[in-house]
Amino acid sequence: MPEFTAKDVQALRRASGAGMLDAKKALEESGGDMEEAAKWLRIKGLGSAEKRAGREATQGAVAVGRDGNAAAIVELKSETDFVAKSDEFVSLADELARLVASKGEDALSERQDEIDRLRSTLQENISVGEVVRIEAEPGGAVDSYLHLQAGRGVNAVVVAVRGGDQALAHDIAAHIAFTRPSYITRDEVPAAEVDAERATVEEIARNEGKPDAALPKIVEGRLNGWYKNRVLVDQAYIKDEKRTIATLLGPAEVTRFAQVVIGD
């Protein structure tokens, strides 16, 4: 057996930018000789991970995992949609999402070698992007929605509700996927944002020549429209625009949601 240690593998990995499995294989092939191992990596085209790491990864796939009352979203990033649509890439994203749902975000470290191997195999800057895990409260429910494009997830939403069931959580998740709110209720919108928008719409109304007496009503009307773009419960339900999300929920509440979209 070639004589080298885990520290040798780490040293070669840092020096070459190769993945852990590739660094280990190189040392095995070179009998533990560091210089020969580095040369082997260069010949195989596996020593350019550091250069790849500097390239922008704007593509990728999002996946959703479920485990009991918990759901997770994991974004796996790549440079091109060609790689992002590959079966191996999508399968790894799915596996990572299931892992996070069942064991938490820290469990991703268990699959780091697989991420490194995929980076070397596909010759792209591949990394984990956004990771979110949401667990429903006792008696609550959690569900998700995943929009697929060419076989990969590109828009993922997870929603937890209190006082509602999984079907309701799913309907809300599907709605969020297309309307992309930032907040659940108006109370969550930072006061500074509201004040800035109020001042802007008032100035616009004045520039339009609106009478001073009518300004308060005009400003509030335009603010309400602004809220509808940002606040979930104020939005018209996409499947029935005569109803708001607030009326769809009834006595139930959305306690938390998360959305991850490729390219954002």
Same domain, 124 and 249: yes
Residue-averaged pLDDT of the chain:
89
Condensed to tens digits (0 to 9), the pLDDT of residues 108-118 reads 989 988 888 88
Whether residue 245 has pLDDT greater than 90:
yes
Specify the CATH number for the domain of residue 172: 3.30.479.20
**Which of these, 121, 120, 95, 117, lies nearest to 108 by C-alpha position?**
95
Cβ-based burial of 150 (10 A; exposed 0-12, middle 13-18, buried ≥19): exposed
Same domain, 221 and 250: no
pLDDT of residue 2: 57
Q: Work out the pLDDT band at 17, boundaries 50, 70, 90.
A: low
Cite the DSSP H helix spans in 104-244.
112-122, 166-179, 191-207, 215-230
Q: Work out the pLDDT band at 263, boundaries 50, 70, 90.
A: confident
0.95 cut: is pTM over it? no
Same domain, 116 and 181: yes
Same domain, 82 and 181: yes
Whether residue 253 has pLDDT greater than 90:
yes
Question: Could you list the residue range(s) of the whole structural domain that residue 213 is in?
Answer: 190-230
Same domain, 241 and 226: no
| Domain-located, residue 12 | yes
Whether residue 54 has pLDDT greater than 60:
no
Same domain, 239 and 116: yes
Whether residue 1 has pLDDT greater than 70:
no
Q: Work out the pLDDT band at 48, boundaries 50, 70, 90.
A: low
Same domain, 159 and 239: yes
Whether residue 5 has pLDDT greater than 90:
no
Same domain, 14 and 115: no
Q: Work out the pLDDT band at 43, boundaries 50, 70, 90.
A: confident
pLDDT of residue 41: 82
As a whole number of angstroms, the distance between CA 169 and CA 215 comes to 39
Number of domains in the chain: 3
Condensed to tens digits (0 to 9), the pLDDT of residues 144-168 reads 999 999 999 999 999 999 999 999 9
Cα torsion angle, 51, 15, 30, 36, sign: positive
Same domain, 121 and 250: yes
Mean pLDDT across 78-90: 92
Lowest mean pLDDT among 36-40, 166-170, 191-195: 36-40
Same domain, 223 and 248: no
Whether residue 13 has pLDDT greater than 80:
no
As a whole number of angstroms, the distance between CA 90 and CA 126 comes to 12
| Domain-located, residue 1 | no
pLDDT of residue 8: 86
